[in-house]
Copies of this chain bind each other. A is one copy, B any other.
Amino acid sequence: MSTFGHYFRVTTYGESHCKSVGCIVDGVPPGMELTEDDIQPQMTRRRPGQSAITTPRDEKDRVIIQSGTEFGVTLGTPIGMLVMNEDQRPKDYGNKTMDIYPRPSHADWTYLEKYGVKASSGGGRSSARETIGRVAAGAIAEKYLKLAYGVEIVAFVSSVGSEHLFPPTAEHPSPSTNPEFLKLVNSITRETVDSFLPVRCPDAEANKRMEDLITKFRDNHDSIGGTVTCVIRNVPSGLGEPAFDKLEAMLAHAMLSIPATKGFEVGSGFGGCEVPGSIHNDPFVSAENTEIPPSVAASGAARNGIPRPKLTTKTNFSGGIQGGISNGAPIYFRVGFKPAATIGQEQTTATYDGTSEGVLAAKGRHDPSVVPRAVPIVEAMAALVIMDAVLAQQARHTAKSLLPPLKQTINSGKDTVGNGVSENVQESDLAQ
């Protein structure tokens, strides 16, 4: 489907060569100041040709709000947004190479298998231009999350090919045990990330290694994949809807819906599967002395006296999510992107009807690695997931607040001395 989310619903439209691409965002909270200026920056970070990113005003990929705001304030009604396609003219229809041969590992073949027809020009709906609507919608979600809770979402390139920012080691099979990684997760900003253009890996040395590798692949008319790591800070606790819409499940869904993705891991991830439980479990500690970040102190939640969680964890193997629900600690995850399928080298393929084989090669310039431009798309999808979960939890919390108070629901434990022993509970092993 072309709709994402239950409470904050984003529906996108558009192919690579139609009139425009865009989206409708339903469920935007009313009364929020919003103009194109809130949205354009992420659009610009996403668009191709960003060596010109510093150009003060670039007309390319300009988003235009169609509805849902008046005098720069959201009305609570659906926000329509669109970006005109510059090259709207589909190719002449006929006996072209692209009509005969599906490009290897592109969506040409599967789209035709699925729909029985396909766009004859470019990637059609599978083009990365489809992500424009997502990024526009994500910018709205981000603005709300920042204003209401001080949420910060920052993604960066963590590997290109085999060049990693934090390569897994015997000591650190999971980044969760790497203090350098945790420090970065706690402090990284978009400004820092964008100071490492064009690769967007926030470490000078690693950035250089990655840039060199990309250059090598470009010169070989080849491509290479990589990974993007994303952190979401200052997430309120309680987000995520068991059983099927656990917060990590929604993040995984969101990330794997981005074109060219092959993997997702959250918190300790695959590396964490190799860490003993005795180390991997995150001990609870009092959050009393935790510093309140400035964006949280300035948020609507703080202004409205919404209490902060009383507990936090010493370590964060969980990546901010336990039992499918956020615990207030930073959420971090990694997304894997395959090498771009479009390469200048010749590749063998077969005709759509399978009757003969042929050779295909891409002309012109193309991006040898997609990960730098994927950064704002990952951030946008993360924002959509958190926003949807926030609205769901706000509804539940408000609903509960109108009920008569219950008698004590959980023991305060104040006059109890520790050394507790939990009773073993059948079937709790997967319950985490």
Contact = CB atoms under 8 A, between A and B. Distances in A.
A352 B413 contact: yes
Contact of A100 (B106, B226, B262, B420): B420
Contacts of A278: 220, 222-223, 343, 345, 347
Interface in A21-55: 21-24, 26-27, 29-33, 48
Given A11-B11, A345-B278, A402-B304, A422 B103 contact: yes
A427 to B, nearest CB: 5
Contact of A249 (B120, B256, B340): B256
B431 A106 contact: yes
A353 interface: yes
A432 B3 contact: no
Taking the full assembly, how many copies of this chain does it contain? 4
B117 A342 contact: no
Nearest to A384: B244
Contact of A246 (B238, B257, B428): B257
Nearest to A78: B13
A227 B331 CA distance: 22
Interface in A115-142: 115-131
Contacts of A254: 244, 249
Contacts of A357: 285-286, 418
Interface string A235-253: 0011111111110111111
Contacts of A217: 276-277
A13 B360 contact: no
A21 B259 CA distance: 29
A66 interface: yes
Given A257-B244, A267-B262, A26 B2 contact: yes
Nearest to A64: B19
Contact of A263 (B111, B260, B270, B366): B270
Contacts of A249: 252-254, 256-257
Interface in A61-102: 64-71, 73-80, 82, 87, 90, 93-102
A98 B422 contact: yes
Contacts of A327: 109-110, 113
B24 A13 contact: yes
B421 A159 contact: no
Contacts of A12: 24, 78, 243
A81 to B, nearest CB: 9
B274 A20 contact: no
Contact of A82 (B66, B71, B366): B66
Given A125-B243, A425-B122, A300 B411 contact: no
B423 A354 contact: no
A269 B420 CA distance: 42
A78 B128 CA distance: 15
Interface in A1-24: 1-4, 6-7, 9, 11-24
A201 interface: no
A383 to B, nearest CB: 14
B430 A258 contact: yes
B126 A359 contact: no
A109 to B, nearest CB: 6
A192 interface: no
Nearest to A352: B410
A428 B269 contact: no
B22 A106 contact: no
Contact of A9 (B1, B20, B282): B1
Given A2-B244, A31-B400, 12 more contacts: A3-B11, A29-B400, A94-B411, A104-B283, A109-B311, A127-B430, A252-B255, A252-B264, A275-B339, A352-B412, A358-B418, A362-B423
